[in-house]
Amino acid sequence: KAGVTQTPRYLIKTRGQQVTLSCSPISGHRSVSWYQQTPGQGLQFLFEYFSETQRNKGNFPGRFSGRQFSNSRSEMNVSTLELGDSALYLCASSNHFSGELFFGEGSRLTVL
């Protein structure tokens, strides 16, 4: 059974650009959530999607957005990138009926 797949794994952008990250959950999982990990702030919740609907949102500016498609795949977008957006972005999926939550390998974003 394939795990959570995130693409791209690494990317470098410059300030002001925008970026789109993709996440394919484990087959059968309908819940996807996103987290940002930085050395200073640790792991912070971005948003959670279930059945194409955003169910919860963390305390991030509107430059951070996301969506979920009918096949449960999810994307997150960050517009007008800032240096502080450099981070590891982790996607997690669950089947919503068990407690377990599985993460992908992450997308490491560097903003120059």
| 3 state SS of 83 | helix
CB atoms within 10 A of CB 45: 15
Least distance (Å) from other proteins to the CB of residue 75? 19
Of 66 and 104, nearer to other proteins (C-beta) is 104
Binding site for other proteins (CB under 8 A): 33, 35, 42-43, 45, 48, 55-56, 58, 88, 90, 92, 94, 96-106, 108
Of 8 and 16, which CB lies nearer to other proteins in the complex structure?
Answer: 8
Whose Cβ is closer to other proteins: residue 3's or residue 67's? 3
Tokens 């992908």, residue? Answer: 104
Nearer to other proteins, 35 or 64 (CB): 35
Give the torsion through C-alpha atoms of 1, 109, 39, 59, to 10 deg.
-90
Question: What is the nearest approach in angstroms of other proteins to the Cβ of residue 16?
Answer: 26
CA distance linking residue 90 with residue 15, whole number of Å: 21
